[in-house]
Amino acid sequence: MIIDPPLARSPAAPDTRPIGVFDSGVGGLTVLRALAARFPHESFLYLGDTARVPYGTKSARTVERYTIQVASVLEAHEVKALVVACNTASALGLAALRAHTALPALGVIQPGCRAALSATRSGRIGVIGTRTTIASGAYRHSLFLMQPKVTVADAPCPLFVPLAEEGWTDHPASHLIIEESLAPLKQHDIDALILGCTHYPVLKQAIGKVMGPEIALVDSAHAVADDLADLMPEVVRPTFEDAQQQLRYLVTDEADRFTEVARRFLHGFPIERAEMVDL
């Protein structure tokens, strides 16, 4: 009896479509920067909802609606995956987004929690973010699901966003604001601190000076890149190995201001001028 050999499984064709990344404004560019560095042959389409920034002061229902609207614009531009590079939208809109779209959709909260649990030695973790993100309890909930014995202390730091956007990374006033904002956390003897807003990595050095060298500062951007790598190539098919990376930027308002601030957040990655889109 002759048995035919099993058919060889042909590799999936490369997918040259860009990966969509979005935030309420410029903060998500810190995530884009990490993704672009990790995947130098992938192209990315970034959308900042600058007409309705900040999301951190909006209700859960509003953030959910905004998240789906922004993602729909990226889907219309034929992206192959979505990265919600906004802590507030990840906390309040990601579940609704996943129910709305067939595309793979990643947030920043669970990757940040996993990174913090890897960084902590004592199990005492701090979280800082916008008022809405902290009030949502999303980080607490995710951390407790992953490690029920963890201790979590959190604090809203709403003034960090304007400091980051103005480039006041080493200003005496910034040090005072950061010190005052973080004072409650220093009473909890934490050894890892999640930077629960994508603006905050811009202030990482200043935050580190206040918290001290023994505190691990957790930026979820690199953990998000790890999650995206885990989805390749079975869920998110990569492009050609020698493809030239393209970065494109969309905004809903204030293109000039966005471009000015973006150059500080991108640290050398190219941006000429963002394009305006309507939602």
173 residue type, one letter: A
* Arithmetic mean of pLDDT over the chain: 92
Annotated active-site residue 113? The verdict is no
Per-residue pLDDT tens digits for 138-176: 999 999 999 999 999 999 999 999 999 888 988 899 999
Mean pLDDT of 21-27: 95
Of these residues, 47, 86, 105, 221, which one is catalytic? 86
Confidence of residue 13 (pLDDT cuts 50, 70, 90): confident
Of these residues, 85, 197, 206, 247, which one is catalytic? 197
Confidence of residue 98 (pLDDT cuts 50, 70, 90): very high
Per-residue pLDDT tens digits for 132-148: 889 999 999 999 999 99
* Separation CA 62–CA 71 (nearest Å): 14
**105-106: strand order across its sheet:** 105-106, 82-84, 19-23, 44-48, 247-251, 275-276
Annotated active-site residue 157? The verdict is no
Mean pLDDT of 86-96: 94
Tally of CA atoms within 13 A in the half-sphere of 185 that contains its CB = 28
Mean pLDDT of 231-244: 94
